[in-house]
A and B are shown apart, each in its own frame.
Chain A
Amino acid sequence: MCDVLERQTMTQNSLSVKIALLFMAATFLIGGKAAFAGDNKVVLRLWKIPDKYAWRTADKAERAIYEKFRALHPEIEMVSSTGINLEGQASIDSVIMSIAGGTAPHVMYVNFRKSTTYIEQNFLYPLDEYWEEELNVKIHPEVWPIIKQKGPDDKEHMYTLSYGRPIVGALMYRKDLFKEAGLNPYKPPRDWDEFYEYARRLTKPEKGQYGWATEVGIPGAYMFCNFIYMAGGKDGGKIVEQQEDGSWRAVYNNTAGVEALRFYHKLLRDGLASTDMNNWHEGRAGMSFRTIQGDTLFDTNSNPEIIGIAPLPFGPKSRRGGEFNQRMLGISSAITDKRVRDAAWEYIKFIASDEADRIVSEVFVKAGEGKFLNPVLLRKFGYDEVLKEVPQGWIEAHEKSMEHINPEPYGRNCDMIYRELQYPVEYVGQHKDVDYQALLDKAVTHTNEKLIGEIPAEKMQQRRQIVAVVMLVLALVFVFFFVKFIIIMMQKVQESTVVPSGATVYGKTKWLLASLFMLPALLTILIWQYYPLFRGLVIAFLDYRIMGVTKFVGIDNFVTIFWQPEFWIAMKNTFIYVFLTIAIGFFLPVILALMLNEIPRGTLFFRTVYYLPAITSPVVIMLLWKQFYEPSPVGLMNQLIGILGIPAQRWLQSIDLAMICVIVPGIWAGLGASSIIYLAALKNVPEELYEAATLDGAGIFQKIWYVTIPRIKILLIINFVGAFIGAFHATERILVMTGGGPLLATHVIGLEIFYNAFVYVKFGLATAMAWILGALLIGFTVYQLKILRKVTFTTVR
């Protein structure tokens, strides 16, 4: 099916087919590696190969399963797909990026929240043909809706196979701190009132000890969800809900959401909760949430003597709930070779098999950690003797937790649900008085718009109208400047035709020869500059899919952009960035050049010194400075300001300083190179002019103002416009240094385009954004070209 679709997209674009033919031969010369190794082995790319030297028993078991599969299938060679982790974007699903880049794993890890996105984007290959086999797997009823989902073809397919036992949320607590606080370590809190009371008694500000620990940002939102589940139970504690028409809506502004947020806020406000998980790891927090992995009932890394585990407490209306999840595997739809697909299926089937369970059990029992295993496994594989060792408390905690479960949100774009939830959660962390309902209503509206794309038809219509007007204006601006541009360019026609020809060839030969000479350049520019431009014009109006069906969406991409807070944050940051770059960086090289011009001796020396950074690649400069910005007290910058008695700063990790920190290295590095050009221009100013000015009694500054500046004015203007436009496009440097963080403090428009395109694979949206940026700048670019057209360039003698 996937092949068909791919072919469809190919034929949609006849031009690309033609070009494809052109380059076909070349591609095969140094093209990508085939999926087969030399000895006829099938190469199977996994998202991660289990670590051979893993120390945790669970990881060892994973490795043992892998090794067994390897032994069973010597014909399959497994490799791991290595990607790059982008700076400051730990939450980004690098798998999606690698799908766009063509390096995605063949076997894809799927969980609840990612499932629908993967399916809608057509990343997963429907497994119906494979599911027809006799499969001896037991699947929890709550997992079925995730395995079997509606595909892009509007029909239901089996997309994944689950493995291992379900994962469920639970409460973990420290027995030692309980004891210290006079609480019974075998009686964990049963409801919210008790939870609050326990937290209060566990909190000891003088020791920096908290009742409950959570995290900030996305992990914090994930942790928070459990409160919603607890407050609403299975039916009420919903974050998203499927509507009758099959679409999904965020509903976390329901009573459960409000109750949860209120309770969470109370914990924080009363100082009982810490958002620093280190407090838990270092034994300064009495309680936190975690998951019971299913295969094991307790984390083998934790000490059962100290850490206790219990079901999440009852919420206010005697309801109870907790996160429910399941590990699943699917097959990438990018595989074109059936052999690879079959191999992928073999692998998945094995991971989900009884044999894999048996290996897990064996590894645990052999390691003497059998008691950590789910009793189901112990019984199944005849380790009944170990059963005696399993603490009754764990079994109870697991059973009780499994009674009240809330599946992790799935549905369209739910992979981003925690990103959305973090905003209200962060908000209450920073404010005293909060209208919970209003806050959540606002957040839900945003989520529905952004993730689910659900905007009331009326409102959408209204927005479309506004955007249509805006775009009309933009289009007019574009056309106006473009026409202006054409006029500027054509003005020269009359002037330059007067230049007589000197060529020795005439007529057809001349044409032929000229065409031959120009063909490579013209072709390159046609294919790699014009074609993308026109295509970009089209893509901006599409919901472009790299796999599956691309749809025409009109101006909706623009509508989405204009009502997306990230876009406006990025815009604001871009303007700040441009302003600061110009304000700090533009005049420094001019001043430097003026100074270099004045000194009688040592110009060459200083020039070389200042030029040093220009010979270093920008990425190296950025990474180098990043080292110097080390936020610990021993970092270079902190040591330097320490001399002046200023306390250590977090530099790139500080919301206030990050932007300036990103800008400084660029200016530092560019200083020498630009000043050299100015210096050359200064040397070209005729001496007589200065002499004349001296005779007129002009001082230094007067000479600079009246003589020097006018002579280098054109250079100043060109550089200014260049720097101005360049600053808008500054993406690479920020990507290297902060990736847009912390908390979007350095998130500029170029990054927003980059992330939307290559990380979230929303090419349509990203292209539309690029056009908006283009519209903002076209006036300047045309002005730039106008000046460039007016001048000729000469080299310095």
Chain B
Amino acid sequence: MPIIDLIGRKKPSIRILIITIYLLLSVGGVTMVYLYILMLSTSITTEVDRTDYRIVPTYLYNRQMLLRKYLFEKYNTALLPSRNNPALDEVYGTDYLKWDEIRLPEVDFTDSRAELRVRDWREFRESLPERYKQAGFTSQLGVVYKVDKLYQRMVSDRFGEDIKKLNKAYVEEHERFMTVLPPEERYLQRAWYPKKTTKQQEWEKFKDKLPEEYKVIISVDGLWQTWLSVKYDKDISLFNERHNTNYRAFSEIPLLPALPDREVERGDWIEFVKQRCPLHYLKVTRGQEEYQEFLKNRYDDNIEYFNKVHETSFASFSEIVLPLPGEETAAGRPSSWEISLVDWGIFVEKELSPEFIEVESTENLYRGFLKTKYGQIEVVNGKYGTDYNDWLKISAPYRECDLKDLSDHELAWRWYFLTNNYAIVINYILFHGPAVVNTIIYCVAMILSTLTITPLCAFALSRFNLRSTDKILLFLLATMAFPAEVAMIPNFLLLKELRLLNTYWALILPGMASGFSIFLLKGFFDSLPRELYEAATMDGASEIRMLWQITMPLAKPILAFLALGAFTGAYGAFMFAFIVCQDPGKWTLMVWLYNMNEWAPASVQMAAFTLATVPTLLVFVFAQKVIMQGIILPVEQ
């Protein structure tokens, strides 16, 4: 009953007190709810907007944020220039330091000229060789993005969902398809050539069919501009001063297709092309003899030695031709490109005459494409509403096209971002891991034992009035006097000796009976009216029937409470479950969650937490009455 009586409540001072109580309760309540709401809202974010901690994540209504998230995954999380992935800054020619600096490009697609520009670019994109495209939407961080997912579906179909077949064919060692990732592509490396393994070949087929919007176009001009800006300490005025130019930013400087005419520009060009530019973007058609001479020198005029290193079978150095990027060869025969990229790299850097080099940058190819399509620069200006005065000034509409790709399927992408974390977790825990099965078996076993072993024993103690009842109770309770840690170690050793570690038994057996529960239940059974049993006895009911038909139904609330305790105990058990079952095949949900903490991004973890809370939440909702009825209060005798 309330301490403050009804009459007292009208006093102003009491009113203030009540209001203060409400205030305090509300503040406390907010901390309870707020953290849960944050858990929920963070669970539908990604690394881009995770630390915003908004109750309703912005991207759900804001296109700019959606674009940031889209680009984050499209560019495989690379914003600043990196060694392996075409980075957004490099492709866009921007200096963004963080993803949340990205702004929506100002482009109006209802303007047919802007639309045409993107359409033309898309057409060009189709025709671009694969070495200019690296798959986007893939990640090596333990999460799966869109392309990973599509790829996993493909390989899973391809191998009839038999992971062993995949392991054999690809020489890998996966336990499930969800860990299979596309082979890495490193088109930004100076000398890279994908080994034509089965996996690579099948990946290339897959990538070929992949919609263009899932691929990142490598901007060779971007590589050049990044290189320049590092060389000139990010100071464009320094560059302008040295070259007598007036660029406003490095992103305006095009990479010329051939050795520049102006002497002052040649130094940088040669250095970049010879040392940094990926070899597969250089076209070299002259200098064959020089190359052969170089190889001869390098391998001491010993063709056998060359053959040994490269696993080839040339009769003499004069058979070796200049490598040609993208050259297709018959199966089984190595292409000129495959043979000795390392030698080729050294040759290009050290010996090749720069006049022989032609740079096939993405941008130059694009300009060429426009030239063939429209012929005159004025036509291009007319169609696009631009004012270029030189073909070299034409820039590629990467930004506009990315936005268009996104806005064509805007809703689908929102839905994707809303659900992807959950999809990852569900895939990980529900469909591909034994965690859920393990947890269910553990919980069910614990509930069952609580509902059988405990009441049976309590009933015997309460009903049969054995002379030794108290001694047995003592026996049941006495171990409580000793800390659980003392028993834990021998328990573990016993399980080990019985070879029960890493089996369900290890989880279940030690906790099947609890002395305290029996003690509690016995007390409850004692308090049941004796007349009921007497009546039943007269009807000739057996003891088992009495237990089943009289005692148990009457004890429902307390039994439900004990069962609930058994469930939450088993569901939430971590340390014990982990110690006795270290084999991942027997991990329970909590152990998986703990493990996830090691590799999963925070937002994915939040999704996992949310999902892990669902079972207990459901139980709470349905068993609320039980919890309230099951509250047991001590009463002094």
Can you list 11 contacts pairing A with B, beta carbon distance less than 8 Å?
A: A19-B498, A368-B341, A368-B346, A502-B537, A521-B512, A525-B513, A635-B51, A680-B633, A769-B485, A785-B480, A785-B481
Cα distance, A23 to B21, chains bound together (Å): 58
* Residues of A contacting B314 in the complex (Cβ-Cβ under 8 angstroms): none
The chain A residue with its CB closest to the CB of B485 is A770
Q: A592-617 interface mask toward B, CB cutoff 8 Å, 1 = contact, 0 = none?
A: 10111111101000100111110111
B453-A13 in contact (CB<8A): no
Residues of A within 8 A of B33 (CB): 609, 612
Q: Name B490's contact: one of A383, A485, A517, A531 (CB within 8 Å).
A: A531
Beyond known contacts A529-B479, A687-B1: 19 more, CB 8 A cutoff: A10-B497, A27-B498, A32-B499, A67-B171, A385-B298, A492-B470, A531-B494, A546-B496, A609-B32, A619-B590, A627-B606, A680-B631, A694-B7, A731-B575, A736-B574, A792-B523, A792-B637, A795-B524, A795-B633
Q: For residue A684, which residue of chain B has the nearest CB? A: B633
Option from A32, A524, A793 in Cβ contact (under 8 Å) with B520: A793
Instruction: List chain B residues, Cβ under 8 A from A383.
Output: 309
Q: In the complex, which residues 1-55 of chain B have their Cβ closer than 8 Å to any Cβ of chain A?
A: 1-5, 7-9, 17-18, 21-22, 24-25, 28-29, 31-33, 35-36, 38-39, 42, 51, 53
Q: Nearest B residue to A687 by beta-carbon distance? A: B1
A16→B493 CA distance, assembly (Å)? 10
Q: Is the CB of B575 within 8 A of A754?
A: yes
Give the CA-CA distance A619 to B605 in the complex, in Å: 12
Closest 10 CB pairs of A and B: A368-B342, A101-B582, A617-B572, A532-B490, A501-B465, A517-B460, A521-B457, A634-B51, A770-B485, A791-B634
Contact yes or no, A795 B632, CB < 8 A? yes
Known contacts: A84-B594, A599-B21, A793-B632. The answer to whether A522 contacts B498 by CB under 8 A is no
Contact present for B502 and A102 (CB under 8 Å): yes
Specify the chain B residue showing the minimal Cβ separation from A614: B620
Q: Which of B233-241, B400-408, B526-534 is found at the contact surface with chain A?
A: B526-534
Interface residue? B436 (CB, 8 A): no
Q: Find residues 7-26 in chain A having any chain B CB closer than 8 Å to their own CB.
A: 9-10, 13, 16, 19-20, 23, 26
Contacts of B470 in A (CB 8 A): 489-490, 492-493, 496-497
Any A CB within 8 A of the CB of B88: no
Q: Does B509 contact A782, Cβ atoms closer than 8 Å?
A: no
Interface residue B374 (Cβ < 8 Å from any Cβ of A): no
Contact across chains for B491 and A672 when beta carbons are under 8 A apart: no
CB distance from A473 to the nearest CB of B (A): 18
Q: Once the chains bind, are B29 and A700 in contact (CB under 8 Å)?
A: no
CA distance A544 to B543 in the complex (A): 48
- For A791, list chain B residues within 8 Å (CB): 634-637
- Residue A683 at the chain B interface, CB threshold 8 Å: yes
Q: How far is the CB of A74 from chain B (nearest CB, A)?
A: 9
Stretch from B259-267, B359-367, B391-399, B610-618 forming part of the interface with A: B610-618
Closest chain B residue to A605, Cβ basis: B29
- Which residue of A365, A492, A497, A729 is within 8 Å of B309 (Cβ)? A365
Contact of B543 among A504, A529, A684 (CB under 8 A): A504
For the complex, give the distance between the alpha carbons of A595 and B481 in Å. 35
A520 touches B512 (CB 8 A): yes
Complex-state Cα separation, A31 to B586, whole angstroms: 11
- Please classify how large the interface on chain A is, using the bins under 10, 10 to 19, 20 to 34, 35 or more: 35 or more
* Chain B residue contacts of A616, Cβ below 8 A: 613, 616
* Contact A102 B582, beta carbon cutoff 8 Å: yes
For the complex, what is the distance from the CA of A482 to the CA of B633, rounded to whole Å? 27
**Proximity bits, B252-290, A CB within 8 Å = 1, else 0:** 000000000000000000000000000000000000000
Q: Is A283 engaged at the interface, CB distance under 8 Å to the other chain?
A: no
Q: Considering only CB atoms, which chain A residue lies closest to B521 in the complex? A: A793
Contact residues of B: prevailing secondary structure: helix
Whether B597 is near chain A, meaning CB under 8 Å from some CB there, is: yes
A636 at the interface (CB under 8 A from B): yes
User: Which residues of the other chain, A, contact B502 by a CB distance below 8 angstroms?
Assistant: 32, 101-103
Cα A750 to Cα B485 in complex, Å, equals 8
How far is A431 from B591 in the complex, measured between Cα atoms in Å?
Answer: 42
Contact A485 B478 (CB under 8 A): yes
Is there contact, CB below 8 Å, between B483 and A617? Answer: no
Asked, given contacts A27-B499, A514-B460, whether A770 binds B489 with beta carbons under 8 Å apart, the answer is yes
Residue A422 interfacial (CB < 8 Å): no
The answer to whether B454 has its CB under 8 Å from any CB of chain A is yes
B210 at the interface (CB under 8 A from A): no
Residue A391 is within 8 A (CB to CB) of chain B in the complex: no
Q: Does B149 have its Cβ within 8 Å of any Cβ on chain A?
A: no
A26 CA / B310 CA spacing, docked (Å): 59
- B-side contacts of A774, CB under 8 Å: 482-483, 485-486
- B483: contacting residue among A599, A714, A766, A773, CB under 8 A: A773
The segment out of A319-327, A446-454, A533-541 that lies at the interface is A533-541
Q: Which of B171, B461, B575, B585 contacts A70 (CB 8 A)?
A: B171
Q: A715 an interface residue at 8 Å Cβ cutoff? A: yes
A129-141 Cβ-contact flags toward B at 8 Å (1 or 0): 0000000000000
Residues on B with beta carbons closer than 8 Å to the beta carbon of A524: 453, 509-510, 512-513
- Mark each residue of chain B from 548 to 583: 1 if its CB lies under 8 Å from any CB of chain A, else 0: 000000000110010000001001101100111111
Q: Are A536 and B574 in contact (CB under 8 A)?
A: no
Instruction: Please report the C-alpha to C-alpha distance between residue A613 and residue B571 in the assembled complex, in whole angstroms.
Output: 15
A771 at the interface (CB under 8 A from B): yes
Say whether A499 faces chain B, with CB atoms less than 8 Å apart. yes
Complex: chain A residue closest to B308, CB-CB: A382
Which residues of B lie under 8 Å from residue A481 when comparing CB positions?
Answer: 481
Chain A window 310-351, contacts with chain B (Cβ cutoff 8 Å), 1 for yes, 0 for no: 000000000000000000000000000000000000000000
Known A-B contacts A517-B460, A595-B24, A615-B613; A763 and B489 likewise in contact (beta carbons under 8 Å): yes
Interface residues of A in 684-708 (CB under 8 A from B): 684-687, 690-691, 694, 700, 703-704, 707-708
Q: How far is the CA of A204 from the CA of B21 in the complex (A)?
A: 59
- B543 and A513 contacting across the interface, CB-CB below 8 Å: yes
Q: Determine whether A628 belongs to the interface, using a CB cutoff of 8 Å to chain B.
A: yes
Q: What B residues does A795 contact at CB under 8 A?
A: 524, 557-558, 561, 629-633
Which B183-217 residues have C-beta < 8 A from chain A? 183-184, 191
Q: Which of A510-561 contact B (CB under 8 A)?
A: 510-511, 513-514, 517-518, 520-522, 524-525, 527-533, 535-536, 539, 544, 546
Q: Do A715 and B633 touch across chains, with their CB atoms under 8 A apart?
A: yes
Q: Give Cα A600–Cα B3 distance, bound, in whole angstroms.
A: 11
B232 at the interface (CB under 8 A from A): no
B163 lies within 8 A of chain A by Cβ: no
Let me know if A1 is at the binding interface, CB within 8 A.
no
Interface assignment of B584: CB less than 8 Å from any CB of chain A: yes
Query: What is the minimal beta-carbon distance from B496 to any residue of chain A, in angstroms?
Result: 7
The reply to whether B3 and A796 form a contact with Cβ atoms under 8 Å apart is no
Interface 1/0s, chain A 375-392, versus B by CB < 8 A? 000000011010000000
Complex CA–CA separation, A565 to B85 (angstroms): 50
Q: Does B469 contact A (CB under 8 A)?
A: yes
Residues of B within 8 A of A691 (CB): 5
Known: A620-B609, A793-B634. A729 touches B483 (CB 8 A): yes
Bound CA span A560–B613, Å:
44
In the assembled complex, the Cα of A796 lies from the Cα of B557 at a distance in Å of: 10
Say yes or no: B617 contacts A615, CB within 8 Å.
yes
Q: Does B357 contact A (CB under 8 A)?
A: no
Interface presence of A79 (CB below 8 A): yes
Which A269-321 residues have C-beta < 8 A from chain B? none
- Known contacts A513-B464, A528-B491, A597-B3; decide if A30 and B505 are in contact (CB<8 Å): yes
B291 at the interface (CB under 8 A from A): no
Q: Which residues of B contact A497 (CB under 8 A)?
A: 467, 470
Determine which of B39, B452, B483 lies in contact with A777 in the assembled complex, contact meaning CB atoms within 8 Å. Answer: B483
Contact A623 B465 (CB under 8 A): no
With a cutoff of 8 Å between Cβ atoms, the chain B residues found around residue A502 in the complex are 463, 465, 530, 533-534, 537
Complex Cα–Cα for A700 and B590 (A): 45
Q: Are B479 and A677 in contact (CB under 8 A)?
A: no
- What is the distance, in angstroms, from A108's C-beta to the closest C-beta of chain B? 16
Say how far B75's CB is from chain A's closest CB, in angstroms.
19
Which A residues lie within 8 Å of B617 (CB)?
A: 615
